[in-house]
Chains A and B, each alone.
Chain A
Amino acid sequence: MTLLDEFQLFLKTLGWPDWAYYSVPALTGIVIIVAAVLTIVIVFIWWERRLLGRFQIRLGPNRCGPEGIFQPIATAVKILLKEDIVPAKADKVVHFIAPIAVFVPVLMVFAVIPFDKAAILVDLNVGAIYIIAISSLSMLAIFMAAWASCNKYSLIAGLRAIAQMVSYELPVVMSLVGVAMMASSLSMVKIVEAQTLPFILLQPLGCLIFFLGSLAEMNRCPFDLLEADSEIVAGYHTEYSGMKFALFYLGEYGVAFVYAAVITTLFLSGWQGPFLPPVLWFLIKVFLVFTLILWMRATLPRLRVDQLMTFAWKFMLPMSLINLIVVAIEILLVPASLQWVMIVINFGLAAVLILLFSRMFTFGGGRVEV
């Protein structure tokens, strides 16, 4: 029983007509989710800029409001006031649709993210698949933007985007299958409920692969090739300005939030935690994941495109397959009461596999004879 179901029942008891009985709760939920997501995304932006500043021994924005908390709002106002420039040779319709198409899937994913046991818009029984399906849509929108801009830098970014998506979707899905097997459900709520021990302990390797894969999916360092500012200027949003750029910007942080939330749900036991209210636990975990992403961004350089591909196909895909097989065997053999055995085995296995693969693995490519 989610909160929305209860709301529906409540309306039913009031004797509302059928259309209102369905649409009013749904709309209310959507409005709440959108507002919450936008607020959190704005806080993310602030957090990223402040923390990145501190990593780089500077202060970060601190002028607007206490500790600069209103800086994203000031940025938003600035962006809204900017001129909207469309390149002369751009495919105007696609150029217009692309930013919207980036942002909508991000919001759609939040339909199945459980902020709390009951605070979920709809508890789909195929929630995990829904997330994977919807979140890859925004890559398509990125390619739309890249193509429509009629800019060579954008085009390169678009091609990189497609290649990156195709490569990294596989290990991500594979590691997600491991989680689904262990929870024996695809529903996000059930997956959280199955985690009496967080799955990060039971499947460290799967978690690592999912984390790295999602870094690539959300274009974060060290896989931020789509907007590698030192190489291809701003990548797919080179030719965007004003509100359209703002949508890309929001979409980028939205995706970061999505994946942080999904990692929290799948591996960090979601809303579960002692003492504090569940929603707070959820948000704390999301922030921790996001901070880790930030920390990597503050330190690491970026990979080259062929190295990125090699990393996905030669390193992460085999590892995720091994992880899947090992998890499957363990589920069959290890009784539920002996979970600590699984933890020990899995951590040992992860360490051995990573060391082994580190030795065997070579970052692909190199010079091409032309």
Chain B
Amino acid sequence: MKFEHYGLGIAKGMALTFEHLFRKPITVQYPEEKLHTSKRIRGNELVWFPDKCTGCGTCTKACPQGNILLVTHRSEPNRFIVDKFECDTGRCIFCGLCVESCPYNALAMGLKYECAKYRRGDFILNKEKLTASENHRPSAYFRPQFDADLPAQSLLLYDREEGGQKLKFLPLSTRKRGPGA
């Protein structure tokens, strides 16, 4: 092997790295700056709408992990009351098949993505924790009806160095723990 290019190859590479000194870094400083995730994010924790749920159990059948526990009892001839609806998010693989399979739009993926917990037991979410609320919002994955409420995703493609569309940051005031994104 020879110095084929008289060291010009090395010089070219060095010039490129030098040029990168003056580009803006692509780092997003995570806890302070949060990018808006995709509208369809398959985030942490299922969001359950108890009023729509008929207790049919399609979601439990669709789950590849066998992760959703559903216990119902019959109240009227054609109605099930859900006694127990639990999901172990520690074993969940966030494939979204349960949401996809739900025939009554009673289940959606969550928007949260910060899912660290102190105990394994905390990953098992019961009915109350899964129910949709202000702090527990659904994402638009397979639920296009929520699409309009969610902020547009901040794409790295429209990055800072081109001065075009700015990355959208969460305002700092929402940096408290709570609903993600």
Contacts and interface: CB of A to CB of B under 8 A. Distances in A.
Interface of A: 51, 53-59, 295-296, 298-300, 307, 354-355, 358-359, 361-363
Contacts of A300: 10, 13-14
B116 interface: no
15 contacts: A51-B21, A54-B20, A54-B21, A57-B20, A57-B26, A58-B25, A59-B25, A295-B17, A299-B13, A299-B14, A299-B16, A358-B6, A361-B3, A362-B1, A363-B1
Q: Looking at chain B's contact residues, is the secondary structure mostly helix, strand, loop, or mixed?
A: loop
Interface string B1-41: 11100110010011011101101111101000000000000
Q: Looking at chain A's contact residues, is the secondary structure mostly helix, strand, loop, or mixed?
A: helix
B2 A57 contact: no
Interface residues on B, range: 10 to 19
A294 to B, nearest CB: 10
Contacts of A55: 17-18, 20-21
Interface of B: 1-3, 6-7, 10, 13-14, 16-18, 20-21, 23-27, 29
Contacts of B29: 59
B20 A295 contact: no
Q: Most chain-B CB neighbours within 10 Å: which of A56, A57, A58, A296? A: A57
B13 A58 contact: no
Nearest to B15: A299
Contacts of B2: 358-359, 361-363
Contacts of A355: 6
CB-CB nearest 4 A-B residue pairs? A358-B3, A363-B1, A59-B27, A299-B17
Contacts of B23: 57
B61 to A, nearest CB: 45
Nearest to B5: A358
